[in-house]
Amino acid sequence: MHALAWVDRLARAGGEARERFVAALEALAPDAPSVLAAPEGEAALLDAGVLTRSMADAFAGWRTEVAAILGPLGIVLPFEPPTNTGGASRTRTEPSAEFRWLWGEFTSVRRSDPGATW
């Protein structure tokens, strides 16, 4: 709810606040799908019930949810399924250094106490 409130606030603010928000989303958009890249052995994880759906299905659902949030605010991001092209493609299964840093920031509290129940 907190994140959605800020998305709404920044997108509707107009001016520099909106421009910077949209620019940040556009900069990170190519990396976001890498979080939903299929892991090695995905079929075995599905068979064992560790995963309840394929990562391709998870990506499709996530992309639909994000579009439902951003679309009414006039923000469209062209998310592509994660692929490992081995080239300079903007879609990838490995996130960039910038995204790894951001992910580290997002997960720092959880890592601060590995024994905690969140």
Q: Is 50 exceeded by the pLDDT of residue 91?
A: no
pLDDT, tens digit, 9 for 90 and up, residues 43-83: 999 999 999 999 999 999 999 999 999 999 999 998 888 76
Note the pLDDT of residue 84: 56
Name the pTM for this structure.
0.70
Q: Is the pLDDT of residue 86 over 60?
A: no
The percent of residues above 90 in pLDDT, for the chain, comes to: 51
Give the chain's largest Cα–Cα span: 50
Q: Which of 9-18, 48-57, 80-89 has the lowest mean pLDDT?
A: 80-89
The mean of the pLDDT values for the chain is 85
CA proximity to 33, closest of 59, 53, 13: 59
Q: For residue 37, is pLDDT > 90?
A: no
Is pLDDT above 70 for 21? yes
Please say if the pLDDT value at position 90 is more than 60.
Answer: no
What are the tokens at 12?
A: 């509707």
